[in-house]
Structure 1
Amino acid sequence: MTPAARMQAAIDLLDLIIASARDDGAAADTLITRYFRERRYAGSKDRRAVRDLVYRAVRAYGDPPASGRGAMAGLAREDAALAALFDGSAHAPAPLGEAESGPDGSRLPGWIADRFSALIDEAEQAALLDRAPLHIRRNPLIASNAETLARWPDARPIEGATYGYALPTGTDVPDDGTAEVQDAGSQFIAQACRAAPGLTVLDLCAGAGGKTLALAADMVNDGGLAGRLIAADAVRDRLARLTPRADRAGYGGQIETLLLDSGREEAGLRPLAGQCDIVLIDAPCSGSGTWRRNPEARWRLTPARLERVVALQARLLRLALPLVKPGGRLVYAVCSLIDREGRDQIQQIVRTDPLWQPVHSTGSEQAPGRSWGEGTLLTPAHDGTDGFFFAVLEKPC
C-alpha cells in the first residue's frame, strides 16, 4: 500500500469505528482485525501504519468526529506530512477542502469534563489518552523473582506492587500461567484487600478472574491455596474464562465459582452472609480510567449509561455489606475517575452506615495514589497506572 492508500484505509476504518460507537457495535480493535482479514494484500507494515493513524485520530477527538475523512483532514491541517497524503491519486483521499478543520483541543467528551475528579488536570487528561505501558503480575506459585528476571531481562519491578513488573511495550507474555498481564493499579487494589491464608475471600464482580488470581497469590501456603476464595459474577461466559486461567496458574479446583442470577443476586449470596473476611467489589463502571487502552470507549459513554452504572454500583455495595463478618473489610474499586462512581459512592455508605470505618492507605512513601474523599485515586500521570478509585472499609468487631 502507498502512504496515501494507508490514509484512505484509516479514513474507511474511522467511519466504521464512529458508526459502531454510535450504535454500540463492535470495538475498534475488532473492526480493524476484520478489515485486514478481508484485505490480505496489506502487509504487516501497512497494518501497523494504518492502525497508528486510526488511533492517532481517536485520541485527538474527545467527541466523535462527523466522519473518518473529517477526523483525518482535521489532523492534516496541523501536520503537513499528513496533508500531503490527500493527493487524489489512485486509492488516495481527495485533496483537502478549505472548510476542513482540526479538533477543538479537548480530549474528553464535552458533557463529561466537569464530572471528573478535581485532581484530573490537563496533564492527567493528556496521560489518560497516552499509550498504556505493559505491566505483568508474577505468579509466585510457579515463578520466583529470579526466574522472572531471567525470562524477561528488561523487566523492571514496580514499586509497591509485590509481584509486579513493567515490560517494554510489545514484549511477548505467553499464556502459560507464569505471569498475567495486569495493570499495576489492579495489583495495588488486590493488595489493599490484604488477603491471607486461612481467610474467606469473595471477589463479587470477578469477571474473567484477573483480580481473583491476584488474591489467590496472597493466599498461598505450602504450595497451594489456603482458605476459601470465591469468584462470583452474573455473566456466565465471562466467569467461565477463569477456570482455564486458574488451571494454568496452578489453582485448579481450588477457587470456587459462583454464577449469580442477574437481578436476583441476593438469593445466591445469602449463604455467605456474615461469612466473609474480605469482599472485593471491582464494580462495573464507565471505564473512564482505561481510555488509554480503549480510547474510542469515551465515544460510547453517554449520560444515560453513566446513570445506569452508578445505580448498579450502589446496589452492589448494598448487597455486599451484609456479607462481611465483624472485623472484616470491604474493598470497593472502579476503573473510573468520575466522582459519582467512586468518591461519592463511598461517602454515601459512610454517611448512612457509620458502623463502617474507612481505612486510608495513602500518606506514606510506599503507598501509591492520592487520598480522595474516603478512598484513594490512582492516575496515569501521578502513578503510572490506569485511572482507578478504590476505598477500604472495615466493619468493627
Structure 2
Amino acid sequence: MTPAARVQTAIEILDAIAAAARDGGAPADAIFAEAMRARRYAGSKDRRAIRNHVYDAIRSIRSAPVSGRAAMLALADADAELAALFDGASYGPAAITADEPRAETGLATTALMKLFDPLVGKAERAAMLVRAPLDLRANALRSSRDELASIFPDGEAIAGLADGWRLPGETAAVQHTAYAEGQFEVQDAASQFAAAALAAEAGQTIVDLCAGAGGKTLAIASATGDAAAILACDTNRARLQQLPPRANRAGATRIETLLLNPGQERAMLADRMGKADRVIVDAPCSGSGTWRRSPELRWRSTPARLDRHVAEQAKLIDLGSDLVAPGGKLLYAVCSIIEREGRAQVDDFLKRHSGWTADGDFLPAGVGRAAGGGYLLTPGHDGCDGFFLARLTAPC
C-alpha cells in the first residue's frame, strides 16, 4: 500500500469506530481487527502504519468526530508530512480544502472534564493519554516477582506491590511460556492495589460481586494462598466463562462461579446474605480511568450513560453490603476519575447505611490521595490507571 492509501484506510476505520462509539457498538480493537481481516492484501508494515494513524487520531480527538476524515485532518493541520498525503492520488484521500470540518483535539469535552474529581488537575490531565506500561502480577501460587525479574529483566518492581512487575508497554509478555504455565497475569497496578486493599485472608469467605473475567478474583486467590472460599459472580456469561480456565491455569482451586440473572441478583444470592467476610464490588463505570489503554472510551461518554452507571453502582454497593457479615469489609472500586462514580457514590452510601464506616490508610504509603471516604489513584500521581477505592466496614 502507498502511504496515502494507508491514510485513507485509517479514515475508513475511524468512520466505523466513531459510529460504534455513538451507538454503543463494538470496541475499536475489534473494529480494527475486522478491517484488517477484510484487507488481507495489507502487509505487516501497512497494518502497523494504519494502526498508528488510527490510534493517534483516537488519542488526539476529544469526542467522537463527525467523520474519520475530520479526525485525520485535525492531525494533518499539525503535521505537514501527513497533510502532503492528502493529494487526491488513487486509493488515497482527496485533497484538503480550507473549509472542511476538523475534529476538536484535547483530552475530553469541557462538560466531561467538569465531572472529574477535584484532585484531577491540569498536570494529571496531561498524563491521562500517555501510553501505559505493561504491568504484570506474579501468581504466588506458581511463581514470584523474583522469577518474573529473571524472565523479564528489562522490567522494574512496582512500589507498594509485593508481586507487581512493570515492563515497557510494547512487551509481548503473554507469548512467553511462563504465561501459559500460570506464573503471571497481566494486570494494571491499580487493579492489583484494589485486590490487595480487600485485605482478604486465608480461611475467609469472599464474594467478588462483579468478577468479569476474574482478574481481581485470581489476585485474591493468589494473596490468600488458595485458602479462601471465593464466589465470583457476574451477569455477563461470556466474561465469566473465561474465569474457570484461567483459574485452572493459575492453580486456584477454591473459586466458585455464579452467573447472575439481571434483576434477580438479590434472590439468587439470598442464602449468602450476611455471611461474607469480604466483598469486592468492582462496579461497571465510565472507564475514564483507563483512557490511556482505551482512549476511545472518551468518545462513548454521554450524560445518559453516566447516569445509568451511577444508578447501577448504587444498586451494587447496596447489594454487596447486604452480603457482608457483621464487622466484615466491603471494597468498592471503579476505574473512574469522575466524582459522581467515586467519592460522591461512597458519601451517598454512608448516608443510606447507618453504622457503616470508611476505613483510612488501607493503601501503601504514598499510593493514592484521600478523596472523601476513599482514595483516588491517577496516572500522574501513581503511575497507574485512574481508580477510586473505598474500603467500608460493616457494623458489628
TM-score (norm 2): 0.95
Q: 1: distance between equivalents of 2:288 and 2:206?
A: 27
CA contact (8 A) 1:361 1:376 kept: no
Q: Matched residue of 2:340: which SS?
A: coil
CA contact (8 A) 2:234 2:258 kept: yes
Q: 1: distance between equivalents of 2:39 and 2:259?
A: 41
Match of residue 131 from structure 1: 131
Note if 1:314 corresponds to 2:343: no
Which letter maps to 2:33?
Answer: T
Shift of 1:350: 1.6
Note if 1:46 corresponds to 2:51: no
CA contact (8 A) 1:59 1:295 kept: yes
Q: 2: distance between equivalents of 1:363 and 1:159?
A: 11
Match of residue 193 from structure 1: 198
Q: 1: distance between equivalents of 2:115 and 2:320?
A: 26
**Shift in CA distance, 107/145, structure 1 to aligned 2, threshold 3 Å:** closer
Match of residue 217 from structure 1: 222
Shift of 1:341: 0.9
Which letter maps to 2:71?
Answer: A
CA contact (8 A) 1:87 1:93 kept: yes
Which letter maps to 1:388?
Answer: F
Match of residue 163 from structure 1: 163
Alignment map for 1:23-42 (pairs within 5 Å): 23-42=23-42
Q: Matched residue of 2:344: which SS?
A: helix
Shift of 1:367: 4.2
Shift of 1:109: 2.9
Q: Matched residue of 2:239: which SS?
A: helix
CA contact (8 A) 1:173 1:179 kept: no
Shift of 1:188: 0.3
Which letter maps to 2:234?
Answer: D
Match of residue 202 from structure 1: 207
CA contact (8 A) 2:148 2:165 kept: no
Which letter maps to 1:251?
Answer: A
CA contact (8 A) 1:274 1:323 kept: yes
Note if 1:266 corresponds to 2:266: yes
Match of residue 370 from structure 1: 369
Q: Runs of 5+ in structure 1 lacking a partner?
A: none
Match of residue 9 from structure 1: 9
Q: Matched residue of 1:202: which SS?
A: strand
Alignment map for 1:298-313 (pairs within 5 Å): 298-313=298-313
CA contact (8 A) 1:109 1:299 kept: no
CA contact (8 A) 2:368 2:376 kept: yes
Q: 2: distance between equivalents of 1:356 and 1:318?
A: 12
1:66-89 deviation digits (Å, cap 9, x = unpaired):
111111112111111111111122
CA contact (8 A) 1:108 1:125 kept: no
1:162-209 deviation digits (Å, cap 9, x = unpaired):
211101222222342111110000000111101111111111110110
Q: Matched residue of 1:186: which SS?
A: helix
Q: Matched residue of 1:92: which SS?
A: coil
Match of residue 380 from structure 1: 379
Shift of 1:63: 1.7
Match of residue 106 from structure 2: 106
Note if 1:93 corresponds to 2:93: yes
Match of residue 323 from structure 2: 323
Q: 2: distance between equivalents of 1:362 and 1:124?
A: 23
Shift of 1:124: 1.9
Q: 2: distance between equivalents of 1:317 and 1:81?
A: 51
Shift of 1:273: 1.5
Shift of 1:18: 1.2
Match of residue 233 from structure 1: 234
CA contact (8 A) 1:62 1:110 kept: no
Q: Which moved more, 1:290-299 or 1:374-383?
A: 290-299
CA contact (8 A) 2:145 2:165 kept: no
1:16-56 deviation digits (Å, cap 9, x = unpaired):
11112122221111111111112122111111111111111
Note if 1:184 corresponds to 2:189: yes
Which letter maps to 2:223?
Answer: D
Shift of 1:297: 1.6
Which letter maps to 1:31?
Answer: I
Which letter maps to 2:132?
Answer: A
Match of residue 122 from structure 1: 122
Which letter maps to 2:199?
Answer: R
Q: 2: distance between equivalents of 1:18 and 1:105?
A: 15
Which letter maps to 1:189?
Answer: A
Which letter maps to 1:380?
Answer: P
Q: 2: distance between equivalents of 1:273 and 1:24?
A: 34
CA contact (8 A) 2:286 2:306 kept: yes
Q: Matched residue of 2:341: which SS?
A: coil
Q: Runs of 5+ in structure 2 lacking a partner?
A: none
CA RMSD of aligned residues (A): 1.5
**Shift in CA distance, 233/37, structure 1 to aligned 2, threshold 3 Å:** same
CA contact (8 A) 1:63 1:110 kept: no
Q: 1: distance between equivalents of 2:113 and 2:247?
A: 39
Shift of 1:101: 6.0
Match of residue 347 from structure 1: 347
Q: Matched residue of 1:331: which SS?
A: strand
Q: 2: distance between equivalents of 1:212 and 1:191?
A: 11
CA contact (8 A) 2:222 2:252 kept: no
Match of residue 144 from structure 2: 144
1:352-377 deviation digits (Å, cap 9, x = unpaired):
3231111122787x241111011000
Which letter maps to 2:231?
Answer: I
Shift of 1:332: 0.1
TM-score (norm 1): 0.95
Q: Matched residue of 1:96: which SS?
A: coil
CA contact (8 A) 2:326 2:395 kept: yes
Shift of 1:271: 1.2
1:265-313 deviation digits (Å, cap 9, x = unpaired):
1111111122111100000111111111111122122111111111111
Which letter maps to 2:232?
Answer: A
